[in-house]
Structure 1
Protein backbone atom coordinates (compact mmCIF):
# COMPACT_ATOMS: atom_id res chain seq x y z
CA UNK A 1 0.00 0.00 0.00
CA UNK A 2 1.41 3.39 -0.98
CA UNK A 3 0.53 6.29 1.26
CA UNK A 4 0.31 9.92 0.16
CA UNK A 5 2.78 12.50 1.39
CA UNK A 6 1.60 14.92 4.08
CA UNK A 7 3.21 17.69 6.04
CA UNK A 8 3.16 19.54 9.30
CA UNK A 9 3.92 23.15 10.10
CA UNK A 10 7.09 22.09 11.95
CA UNK A 11 9.11 21.95 8.73
CA UNK A 12 8.80 18.17 8.25
CA UNK A 13 7.25 16.31 5.35
CA UNK A 14 5.90 12.77 5.61
CA UNK A 15 7.45 10.91 2.68
CA UNK A 16 5.74 8.52 0.31
CA UNK A 17 6.27 4.96 1.51
CA UNK A 18 5.23 1.39 0.88
CA UNK A 19 5.14 -1.60 3.24
CA UNK A 20 5.44 -4.95 1.48
CA UNK A 21 4.86 -8.08 3.53
CA UNK A 22 6.89 -11.09 2.48
CA UNK A 23 6.98 -14.57 3.95
CA UNK A 24 9.97 -13.96 6.25
CA UNK A 25 10.24 -10.15 6.36
CA UNK A 26 8.75 -6.75 5.72
CA UNK A 27 10.26 -4.57 3.02
CA UNK A 28 9.59 -0.88 3.74
CA UNK A 29 10.43 1.54 0.92
CA UNK A 30 10.62 5.33 1.29
CA UNK A 31 10.89 7.97 -1.44
CA UNK A 32 13.34 10.59 -0.12
CA UNK A 33 14.19 13.09 -2.88
CA UNK A 34 16.85 15.75 -2.16
CA UNK A 35 18.37 13.60 0.59
CA UNK A 36 21.92 12.23 0.90
CA UNK A 37 22.64 8.85 2.49
CA UNK A 38 24.63 10.42 5.35
CA UNK A 39 21.58 12.55 6.28
CA UNK A 40 19.25 9.56 6.83
CA UNK A 41 18.57 8.03 10.25
CA UNK A 42 16.59 4.79 10.66
CA UNK A 43 15.35 3.63 14.07
CA UNK A 44 13.50 0.36 14.67
CA UNK A 45 11.75 -1.33 17.56
CA UNK A 46 9.97 -4.67 17.61
CA UNK A 47 6.83 -3.09 16.10
CA UNK A 48 7.83 0.25 14.53
CA UNK A 49 10.25 1.77 12.05
CA UNK A 50 11.04 5.49 12.02
CA UNK A 51 12.89 7.44 9.34
CA UNK A 52 14.28 10.96 9.75
CA UNK A 53 16.05 12.45 6.74
CA UNK A 54 17.41 15.98 6.38
CA UNK A 55 17.06 17.49 2.90
CA UNK A 56 20.14 18.80 1.14
CA UNK A 57 18.14 21.91 0.23
CA UNK A 58 14.98 23.29 1.88
CA UNK A 59 11.75 23.45 -0.12
CA UNK A 60 9.49 26.49 0.13
CA UNK A 61 5.77 26.18 -0.61
CA UNK A 62 3.49 29.19 -0.92
CA UNK A 63 -0.29 29.18 -1.18
CA UNK A 64 -2.01 32.29 -2.44
CA UNK A 65 -5.74 32.06 -1.91
CA UNK A 66 -8.19 33.35 0.63
CA UNK A 67 -5.52 32.60 3.23
CA UNK A 68 -1.87 33.35 2.45
CA UNK A 69 0.63 30.73 3.65
CA UNK A 70 4.31 30.10 3.26
CA UNK A 71 5.91 26.91 4.57
CA UNK A 72 9.52 25.77 4.35
CA UNK A 73 10.31 22.06 4.57
CA UNK A 74 13.75 20.90 5.68
CA UNK A 75 13.33 17.22 6.51
CA UNK A 76 11.29 14.07 6.06
CA UNK A 77 9.99 12.27 9.14
CA UNK A 78 7.75 9.22 9.42
CA UNK A 79 7.08 6.51 12.01
CA UNK A 80 5.21 3.40 10.89
CA UNK A 81 3.62 0.77 13.10
CA UNK A 82 4.29 -2.65 11.58
CA UNK A 83 1.54 -5.30 11.26
CA UNK A 84 3.68 -7.93 13.06
CA UNK A 85 6.67 -7.89 15.36
CA UNK A 86 10.14 -7.89 13.80
CA UNK A 87 13.71 -8.49 14.97
CA UNK A 88 15.11 -4.92 14.95
CA UNK A 89 18.72 -6.01 15.56
CA UNK A 90 18.63 -7.91 12.23
CA UNK A 91 17.27 -5.01 10.16
CA UNK A 92 19.23 -3.78 7.16
CA UNK A 93 18.84 -0.80 4.83
CA UNK A 94 19.98 0.30 1.38
CA UNK A 95 19.82 3.89 0.07
CA UNK A 96 20.24 4.60 -3.63
CA UNK A 97 19.07 7.49 -5.83
CA UNK A 98 16.69 8.87 -3.20
CA UNK A 99 15.05 5.51 -2.46
CA UNK A 100 15.48 3.93 0.98
CA UNK A 101 14.67 0.21 1.35
CA UNK A 102 14.56 -1.30 4.83
CA UNK A 103 14.44 -5.09 5.34
CA UNK A 104 12.90 -6.07 8.66
CA UNK A 105 12.94 -9.83 9.42
CA UNK A 106 9.78 -11.03 11.12
CA UNK A 107 10.11 -12.27 14.69
CA UNK A 108 9.85 -16.01 14.97
CA UNK A 109 6.49 -17.01 16.33
CA UNK A 110 7.09 -20.73 16.50
CA UNK A 111 10.15 -22.37 17.99
CA UNK A 112 10.74 -26.11 17.72
CA UNK A 113 11.57 -27.53 21.14
CA UNK A 114 13.83 -30.57 21.07
CA UNK A 115 12.62 -33.58 23.04
CA UNK A 116 15.24 -35.50 25.00
Structure 2
Protein backbone atom coordinates (compact mmCIF):
# COMPACT_ATOMS: atom_id res chain seq x y z
CA UNK A 1 0.00 0.00 0.00
CA UNK A 2 2.74 2.49 0.87
CA UNK A 3 5.24 1.20 -1.66
CA UNK A 4 8.20 1.02 0.74
CA UNK A 5 11.37 0.34 -1.19
CA UNK A 6 14.52 -1.38 0.06
CA UNK A 7 16.29 2.01 0.17
CA UNK A 8 13.52 3.47 2.33
CA UNK A 9 13.61 0.43 4.60
CA UNK A 10 17.38 0.89 5.07
CA UNK A 11 16.74 4.53 5.98
CA UNK A 12 14.14 3.46 8.52
CA UNK A 13 16.63 1.01 10.09
CA UNK A 14 19.25 3.78 10.33
CA UNK A 15 16.71 6.08 11.97
CA UNK A 16 15.84 3.37 14.51
CA UNK A 17 19.51 2.97 15.38
CA UNK A 18 19.90 6.72 15.77
CA UNK A 19 16.78 6.97 17.94
CA UNK A 20 18.01 4.26 20.28
CA UNK A 21 21.51 5.76 20.55
CA UNK A 22 20.52 7.58 23.72
CA UNK A 23 20.49 11.21 22.63
CA UNK A 24 19.89 13.50 25.61
CA UNK A 25 18.05 16.76 25.09
CA UNK A 26 17.91 19.84 27.31
CA UNK A 27 14.19 20.48 27.80
CA UNK A 28 12.77 23.96 27.34
CA UNK A 29 11.55 25.41 30.64
CA UNK A 30 9.52 28.23 32.13
CA UNK A 31 10.32 29.18 35.72
CA UNK A 32 7.99 31.26 37.85
CA UNK A 33 8.41 32.82 41.28
CA UNK A 34 5.66 33.63 43.75
CA UNK A 35 5.36 34.30 47.45
CA UNK A 36 5.11 30.57 48.21
CA UNK A 37 8.18 29.61 46.15
CA UNK A 38 9.24 28.68 42.64
CA UNK A 39 7.78 26.48 39.93
CA UNK A 40 9.64 24.91 37.01
CA UNK A 41 7.66 23.82 33.95
CA UNK A 42 9.74 21.54 31.70
CA UNK A 43 8.71 20.38 28.23
CA UNK A 44 9.27 16.60 28.13
CA UNK A 45 7.04 15.22 25.35
CA UNK A 46 6.43 11.51 25.48
CA UNK A 47 7.47 11.14 29.13
CA UNK A 48 5.17 9.77 31.80
CA UNK A 49 5.16 9.50 35.60
CA UNK A 50 7.20 6.30 35.58
CA UNK A 51 9.92 7.69 33.31
CA UNK A 52 10.58 10.90 35.29
CA UNK A 53 13.13 11.39 38.06
CA UNK A 54 13.54 14.62 40.06
CA UNK A 55 16.38 14.89 42.57
CA UNK A 56 17.72 17.55 44.92
CA UNK A 57 21.31 17.46 46.11
CA UNK A 58 23.60 20.17 47.47
CA UNK A 59 21.38 23.01 46.29
CA UNK A 60 20.85 21.59 42.79
CA UNK A 61 17.57 20.27 41.40
CA UNK A 62 18.00 17.82 38.52
CA UNK A 63 15.18 16.83 36.20
CA UNK A 64 15.52 13.63 34.16
CA UNK A 65 12.88 12.13 31.90
CA UNK A 66 12.61 9.66 29.08
CA UNK A 67 10.03 9.51 26.35
CA UNK A 68 8.34 6.14 26.13
CA UNK A 69 6.88 4.27 23.19
CA UNK A 70 3.14 3.85 23.05
CA UNK A 71 2.08 0.24 23.47
CA UNK A 72 1.52 -0.91 19.92
CA UNK A 73 1.90 -4.34 18.40
CA UNK A 74 1.58 -3.08 14.83
CA UNK A 75 4.54 -3.34 12.49
CA UNK A 76 5.80 0.12 11.60
CA UNK A 77 6.23 1.01 7.95
CA UNK A 78 7.83 4.29 8.92
CA UNK A 79 8.65 5.58 12.37
CA UNK A 80 9.45 9.26 12.84
CA UNK A 81 8.52 9.75 16.49
CA UNK A 82 11.74 10.23 18.40
CA UNK A 83 12.38 8.55 21.70
CA UNK A 84 14.58 10.76 23.79
CA UNK A 85 16.18 11.35 27.14
CA UNK A 86 15.82 14.75 28.77
CA UNK A 87 18.02 16.20 31.48
CA UNK A 88 18.45 19.63 33.03
CA UNK A 89 19.80 20.91 36.35
CA UNK A 90 19.25 24.14 38.25
CA UNK A 91 21.04 25.66 41.22
CA UNK A 92 18.31 26.85 43.54
CA UNK A 93 18.09 29.48 46.24
CA UNK A 94 18.90 28.69 49.88
CA UNK A 95 15.32 29.57 50.80
CA UNK A 96 13.92 26.43 49.10
CA UNK A 97 12.50 23.82 51.48
CA UNK A 98 14.05 20.68 49.97
CA UNK A 99 11.84 18.37 52.04
CA UNK A 100 8.70 19.77 50.39
CA UNK A 101 9.74 19.73 46.71
CA UNK A 102 7.04 18.03 44.63
CA UNK A 103 6.52 17.16 40.98
CA UNK A 104 3.74 16.10 38.65
CA UNK A 105 3.47 15.49 34.93
CA UNK A 106 0.57 16.03 32.54
CA UNK A 107 0.41 16.29 28.76
CA UNK A 108 4.19 16.20 28.35
CA UNK A 109 4.87 19.03 30.82
CA UNK A 110 6.72 18.30 34.06
CA UNK A 111 5.82 20.73 36.84
CA UNK A 112 8.26 20.90 39.76
CA UNK A 113 7.19 22.95 42.78
CA UNK A 114 9.91 24.29 45.07
CA UNK A 115 8.30 25.85 48.15
CA UNK A 116 10.12 28.40 50.26
CA UNK A 117 11.15 27.60 53.82
CA UNK A 118 8.93 29.05 56.51
CA UNK A 119 10.21 32.47 57.42
CA UNK A 120 12.05 32.57 60.71
CA UNK A 121 12.46 36.33 60.67
CA UNK A 122 10.88 38.06 63.62
CA UNK A 123 10.32 41.73 64.16
CA UNK A 124 11.99 42.67 67.38
CA UNK A 125 11.39 46.06 68.89
CA UNK A 126 14.56 47.70 70.12
CA UNK A 127 14.32 50.15 72.98
CA UNK A 128 16.23 53.34 72.34
CA UNK A 129 17.94 54.77 75.46
Q: TM-score, normalized by length of structure 2?
A: 0.61
Residues 1:76 and 2:109 are matched in the alignment: no
SS in 2 for 1:49: strand
From 47, 54, 62, the counterpart of 2:59: 47
Cα distance, 1:109 vs structure 2 = 5.2
2:104 touches 2:110 (CA, 8 Å); kept in 1?
Answer: yes
Deviation at residue 14 of structure 1 after TM alignment: 0.4
Q: Take 1:29 and 1:45, find their aligned partners in 2: how far apart are those partners? A: 19
More helix by percentage: 2
TM-score normalized with structure 1 length: 0.67
**Which ranges of structure 2 fall in alignment gaps of 5 or more residues?**
1-20, 70-80, 125-129
Structure number with greater Rg is: 2
Report the 3-state secondary structure (helix = DSSP H, G, I; strand = E; otherwise coil) of the residue aligned with 1:89: helix
| CA RMSD across the alignment | 2.5
Q: Which residue of 1 aligns with 2:9?
A: none
Matched length: 92
Structure 1 counterpart of 2:24: 12
Q: Partners of 1:112 and 1:94 in 2: how far apart?
A: 34
> Is the strand fraction higher in 1 or 2?
1
Q: What CA distance in whole angstroms lies between the structure 2 residues aligned with 1:40 and 1:55?
A: 9
Contact 2:22 2:85 in 1 (8 A): no
1:47 Cα deviation from its structure 2 partner:
2.8
Partners of 1:22 and 1:47 in 2: CA distance = 19
